[in-house]
C-alpha cells in the first residue's frame, strides 16, 4: 500500500489533533479577493429551516439571487432555480434539472458574478460564536476528507466553533464523544486520504423519529445551529427530513422537558448544507459527486491490470463495478476501456439478453479482420474456437443488473453465455470496495482548494458565508479555501 492509503478511522483519531506535519499552521489564513467570474453549481445542496415556518421551502422569489439545489419538500431532492435570477443566469441545462431521485448529469447552471447585484465577502470572524458541525454519511467516497477539511477551516476562519460528528448520523444520535470540537490542525494531513477520517455509517436510528429527536438534542446541547452533511442521496434525504421536522422536533423536546424554552428559542433556526458525496454519481442536478472521478480512475486502473492477463491468456473478463442503481461508473468505465458489452440499470437488456450478448460478442469478434463472415467465403467449421481466441476484452457488468422484466442478470449468467456459446475461458472480477477505496484523484482534491465566489441571501449564518465566497491563502501561500461543490468548477483562485 502506498503512503497515501487510508487507515481505519480509529487509527486516525490521534491524527485529528492540532499538530502535525502539514505545513499549514494554526494561523488562520488571510482573505484575498477572488478573481473568478463564473462557477458551475454542482454537488452542493443548501437548505435552511426556521422554527415556525411551514414545511414548504420559502418561495424562490423571496430567496436567492443565485441558483440553488434545494432539498424538496417531497423528501426527494429537487433542484430549484430562483425565478428572480433567471435574467442573470445563463442556463446550460436540460430537463433533468427537476428530476427527482435519478441523476441529471447534464444539469448545469452558469452565472456571471459580474451580473449579480450583490456581492458578499466572507469576513474573518463574522460568525463568531456560532456552532457548526460536519458529518459524513452513507458509503464512503474518495474526496470526503478534503471536503471535511475545507468545511472545518472555513468555519474556523469565520469564527465558528466547529465540531466533527463521528460515524455519520449514528454519532449525532449517540452524542457524547462522537461530537468533538475540531481545530485548524486537526484536519491537517488528511486531504489526500481516501475514505473519511471522521467515519461514516448507515444509521437505522436516524430513520426513526426518536433517533432524530436524540440527534437534535445532542446538537442543541453543543449549540450547533449549522450542519454540513456529506453523503449520498439517502443521507441528504435524511437531512431534508430533519430540516422539515425541526420545528416539531423542538416542540416535542420541550414538551418532554429535554430542552429549555430558552434553547428552543435560541435554536429555532437550523441551517443545513449538503455536499453530495458518493461514488455512484446518482444525484440529480449535479455533474459529478464527490468520489466519482476517483472511482472511475480505480476502474480504469483495474481494467489496465486485467486486460494484460486477458490478452496473455486469451480470456474474457466480466468486470463487476459498484454504482448501486446508477450505471454511470459502468458506462464510462466501459467506454474508456472499449468493452464489448455493458449492463446498466438505466437501459436493461431485453429478456433474451443472452442472445443479444452472444450476437454482440460474435459481432465484436467478426470485426477482427481475420474473421469477416461473408457468404461466399464461409469460415472453417471451428470458427467459434478461432474467434474466441480473439476475444480478450472485458464485459462491464454492474451489480443489480436486471433485464427489462426486472429479472436479475448475474455475472455468473453472463459467464455461462460466453462459455457455452463461445467456448471462451471466462473469469469474473468483482471490484467491490476497491472501487470506493484509495486516494482521491487530483481533480477531486482540487475542488476543495479553490473557492466559489457567489452571493446568496438564502441561508443566514455561517453556512451562508461558506456558500458565498472566499479565497484564502495561508501564510505559506498554500490554498486553504473551500468550494462547496464538486465537479467541473472553473474557479481560479487569485494568487
Ligand atoms: N428517508 C430517510 N429518512 C431518514 N434518514 C435517512 C433516510 N434515508 C437515508 N437516511 C439516513 O442516511 C443514511 C445513509 O443513507 P444511504 O445508506 O442511502 O447512503 P447514501 O447517503 O445514499 O450514500 P451512498 O449511496 O453513497 O451509500 C442512512 O443509513 C440513514 O441513516
Ligand atoms: O459498503 P456497502 O454498505 O456494502 O455499500 C456498497 C454500496 O455503497 C455504494 O458504494 C455507494 O452507494 C454503492 O456503490 C455500493 O453498491
What are the distances in angstroms from CA 137 to CA 77, 299, 342? 16, 23, 30
Contacts for 157 with CB less than 8 Å, ≥ 6 apart? 28, 29, 31, 122, 124, 470, 472
Interatomic CA distance for residues 254 and 264, integer angstroms: 7
Answer with the one of 399, 418, 436 that is the final residue of a domain.
Answer: 436
Q: Indicate whether 404 and 457 sit together in one domain.
A: no
Q: Indicate whether 187 and 273 sit together in one domain.
A: yes
Q: Which domain holds residue 384?
A: 292-436
Q: What CATH code is carried by the domain that includes residue 351?
A: 3.40.50.460
Ligand 2 neighbour 330 (Cβ under 6 A): no
Respond yes or no on whether ipTM tops 0.90: yes
**Is residue 105 assigned to a domain?**
no
Looking at residue 378, its pLDDT comes to: 56
Kindly give the distance from the C-alpha atom of residue 207 to the centroid of ligand 2, in angstroms, as a whole number: 18
Q: Indicate whether 431 and 451 sit together in one domain.
A: no
The single residue listed with the C-alpha cell 474508456 is 336
**Is residue 303 assigned to a domain?**
yes
Looking at residue 383, its pLDDT comes to: 53
Ligand 2 neighbour 140 (Cβ under 6 A): no
The single residue listed with the C-alpha cell 455519520 is 168
SS3 of 135, please?
strand
Kindly give the distance from the C-alpha atom of residue 233 to the centroid of ligand 1, in angstroms, as a whole number: 7
Looking at residue 121, its pLDDT comes to: 56
> Shortest CA distance to 272 belongs to which of 303, 299, 238?
238
What are the distances in angstroms from CA 406 to CA 320, 321, 402? 19, 19, 5
279 Cα nearest atom in ligand 1: 26
> Shortest CA distance to 470 belongs to which of 107, 91, 35, 67?
35
Q: Which three cell numbers stand for residue 402?
A: 436486471
Q: Indicate whether 405 and 340 sit together in one domain.
A: yes
Kindly give the distance from the C-alpha atom of residue 211 to the centroid of ligand 2, in angstroms, as a whole number: 23
Contacts for 254 with CB less than 8 Å, ≥ 6 apart? 260, 261, 264
Q: Indicate whether 264 and 383 sit together in one domain.
A: no
Output the residue whose Cα is nearest ligand 2's atom 10: 139
**Is residue 325 assigned to a domain?**
yes
**Is residue 49 assigned to a domain?**
no
**Is residue 456 assigned to a domain?**
yes
In the β-sheet with 38-40, what is the strand arrangement from edge to edge?
Answer: 38-40, 109-112, 89-91
The total domain count for the chain is 2
Q: Is 280 considered catalytic here?
A: yes
Q: pLDDT digit of tens for each residue in the chain (495 aa)?
A: 333 333 333 322 322 223 333 334 344 544 433 332 222 233 444 444 444 443 333 333 332 222 223 222 222 222 222 222 222 233 333 322 222 333 333 333 333 334 444 445 567 788 888 999 999 999 999 999 999 988 898 888 888 999 999 999 999 999 999 999 999 899 989 989 999 999 999 999 999 999 999 999 999 999 999 999 999 989 999 999 998 999 999 999 999 999 999 999 989 988 998 889 999 998 887 888 999 999 999 999 998 888 888 778 778 888 999 998 898 999 999 888 888 888 888 888 888 888 888 888 777 766 654 444 445 555 556 656 655 555 544 566 777 777 878 888 888 888 888 888 877 788 898 888 888 888 888 888 777 764 333 322 322 234 444 444 333 222 332 222 223 332 222 222 322
**Is residue 59 assigned to a domain?**
no
Q: Which of 276, 280, 289 has most ligand 2 atoms within 8 Å of CB, for mutation? A: 280
What are the distances in angstroms from CA 123 to CA 120, 129, 156, 187, 226? 9, 14, 11, 21, 18
Ligand 1 neighbour 234 (Cβ under 6 A): yes
Ligand 1 neighbour 245 (Cβ under 6 A): no
Q: Indicate whether 398 and 383 sit together in one domain.
A: yes
Looking at residue 488, its pLDDT comes to: 25
Is residue 122 within 8 Å of residue 470, measured between CB atoms? yes
Q: Indicate whether 251 and 184 sit together in one domain.
A: yes
Q: Indicate whether 427 and 445 sit together in one domain.
A: no
Output the residue whose Cα is nearest ligand 2's atom 6: 139
139 Cα nearest atom in ligand 1: 27
Ligand 2 neighbour 480 (Cβ under 6 A): no
Is residue 441 within 8 Å of residue 479, measured between CB atoms? no
Is residue 243 within 8 Å of residue 459, measured between CB atoms? no
Output the residue whose Cα is nearest ligand 2's atom 3: 139
Strands 44-50, 68-71: parallel, antiparallel or unpaired by DSSP? Answer: unpaired
Interatomic CA distance for residues 142 and 154, integer angstroms: 20
399 Cα nearest atom in ligand 2: 16
Is residue 261 within 8 Å of residue 120, measured between CB atoms? no
Contacts for 317 with CB less than 8 Å, ≥ 6 apart? 306, 307, 309, 310, 393, 394, 395, 426, 427, 428, 429
Ligand 2 neighbour 279 (Cβ under 6 A): yes
**Is residue 20 assigned to a domain?**
no
Interatomic CA distance for residues 48 and 50, integer angstroms: 7
The single residue listed with the C-alpha cell 470496495 is 433
Please identify which of the residues 140, 280, 469, 486 carries the catalytic annotation: 280
How many CA atoms does the CB half-sphere of 170 hold within 13 Å? 11
Q: Which three cell numbers stand for residue 25?
A: 499552521
Answer with the one of 393, 413, 436 that is the final residue of a domain.
Answer: 436
Looking at residue 364, its pLDDT comes to: 72
Kindly give the distance from the C-alpha atom of residue 169 to the centroid of ligand 2, in angstroms, as a whole number: 17
Looking at residue 245, its pLDDT comes to: 95
Ligand 1 neighbour 292 (Cβ under 6 A): no
Q: Indicate whether 428 and 449 sit together in one domain.
A: no
What are the distances in angstroms from CA 310 to CA 326, 392, 434? 27, 5, 20
Q: Indicate whether 379 and 467 sit together in one domain.
A: no
278 Cα nearest atom in ligand 2: 11
Looking at residue 386, its pLDDT comes to: 58
Looking at residue 379, its pLDDT comes to: 53
Q: Indicate whether 296 and 428 sit together in one domain.
A: yes
pTM of the model: 0.69
> Shortest CA distance to 357 belongs to which of 369, 344, 340, 374?
340
Q: What CATH code is carried by the domain that includes residue 461?
A: 3.40.50.450
Kindly give the distance from the C-alpha atom of residue 238 to the centroid of ligand 2, in angstroms, as a whole number: 17
Output the residue whose Cα is nearest ligand 2's atom 12: 139
**Is residue 126 assigned to a domain?**
no
Output the residue whose Cα is nearest ligand 1's atom 15: 234
Ligand 2 neighbour 168 (Cβ under 6 A): no
Ligand 2 neighbour 364 (Cβ under 6 A): no
Ligand 2 neighbour 290 (Cβ under 6 A): no
Q: Indicate whether 167 and 212 sit together in one domain.
A: yes
Amino acid at each position: 500500500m502506498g503512503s497515501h492509503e487510508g487507515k481505519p478511522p480509529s487509527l486516525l483519531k490521534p491524527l485529528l489533533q492540532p499538530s502535525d506535519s502539514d505545513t499549514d499552521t494554526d494561523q488562520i489564513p488571510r482573505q484575498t479577493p477572488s478573481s473568478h467570474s463564473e462557477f458551475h453549481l454542482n454537488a452542493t445542496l443548501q437548505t435552511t429551516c426556521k422554527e415556525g415556518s411551514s414545511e414548504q421551502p420559502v418561495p424562490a422569489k423571496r430567496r436567492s439571487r443565485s441558483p440553488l439545489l434545494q432539498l424538496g419538500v417531497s423528501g426527494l431532492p429537487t433542484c430549484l432555480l430562483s425565478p428572480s435570477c433567471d435574467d442573470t443566469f445563463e442556463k446550460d441545462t436540460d430537463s433533468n434539472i427537476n428530476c427527482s431521485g435519478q441523476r441529471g448529469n447534464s444539469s448545469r447552471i452558469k452565472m456571471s458574478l459580474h451580473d449579480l447585484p450583490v456581492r458578499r465577502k466572507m469576513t474573518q470572524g463574522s460568525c463568531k460564536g456560532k456552532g457548526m458541525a460536519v458529518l459524513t454519511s452513507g458509503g464512503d467516497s474518495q474526496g470526503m476528507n478534503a471536503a471535511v477539511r475545507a468545511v472545518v477551516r472555513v468555519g474556523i476562519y469565520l469564527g465558528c466553533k466547529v465540531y466533527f460528528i463521528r460515524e455519520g448520523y449514528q454519532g449525532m444520535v449517540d452524542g457524547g464523544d462522537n461530537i468533538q470540537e475540531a481545530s485548524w490542525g486537526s484536519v491537517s494531513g488528511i486531504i489526500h486520504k481516501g475514505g473519511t477520517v471522521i467515519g461514516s455509517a448507515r444509521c437505522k436510528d436516524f430513520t426513526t423519529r426518536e433517533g432524530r429527536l436524540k440527534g437534535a438534542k445532542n446538537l442543541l446541547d453543543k449549540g450547533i445551529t449549522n450542519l454540513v452533511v456529506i453523503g449520498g442521496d439517502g443521507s441528504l434525504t435524511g437531512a431534508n427530513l430533519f430540516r422539515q421536522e425541526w420545528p416539531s422536533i423542538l416542540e416535542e423536546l420541550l414538551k418532554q422537558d429535554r430542552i429549555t424554552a430558552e434553547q428552543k428559542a435560541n435554536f429555532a433556526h437550523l441551517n443545513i448544507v449538503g455536499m453530495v458525496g458518493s461514488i455512484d454519481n446518482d444525484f440529480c442536478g449535479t455533474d459529478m459527486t464527490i468520489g466519482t472521478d476517483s472511482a472511475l480512475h480505480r476502474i480504469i486502473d483495474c481494467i489496465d491490470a486485467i486486460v494484460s492477463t486477458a490478452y496473455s491468456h486469451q480470456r474474457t473478463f466480466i468486470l463487476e463495478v459498484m454504482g448501486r442503481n446508477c450505471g454511470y461508473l459502468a458506462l464510462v468505465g466501459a467506454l474508456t476501456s472499449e468493452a464489448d458489452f455493458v449492463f446498466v440499470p438505466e437501459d436493461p437488456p431485453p429478456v433474451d439478453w443472452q442472445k443479444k450478448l452472444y450476437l454482440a460478442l460474435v459481432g465484436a469478434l467478426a470485426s477482427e479482420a481475420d474473421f469477416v463472415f461473408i457468404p461466399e467465403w464461409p469460415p472453417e467449421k471451428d470458427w467459434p474456437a478461432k474467434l474466441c481466441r480473439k476475444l480478450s476484452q472485458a464485459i462491464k457488468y454492474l451489480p443489480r443488473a436486471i433485464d427489462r422484466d426486472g429479472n436479475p442478470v448475474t455475472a455468473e449468467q453472463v459467464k455461462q453465455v460466453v462459455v457455452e456459446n463461445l467456448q471462451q475461458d471466462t473469469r469474473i472480477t468483482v471490484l467491490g470496495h476497491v472501487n470506493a477505496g484509495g486516494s482521491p484523484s487530483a481533480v477531486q482534491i482540487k475542488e476543495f482548494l479553490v473557492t466559489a465566489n457567489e452571493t446568496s441571501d438564502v441561508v443566514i449564518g455561517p453556512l451562508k458565508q461558506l456558500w458565498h465566497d472566499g479565497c484564502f491563502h495561508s501564510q505559506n501561500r498554500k490554498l486553504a479555501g473551500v468550494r462547496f461543490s464538486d465537479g467541473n468548477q472553473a474557479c481560479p483562485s487569485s494568487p
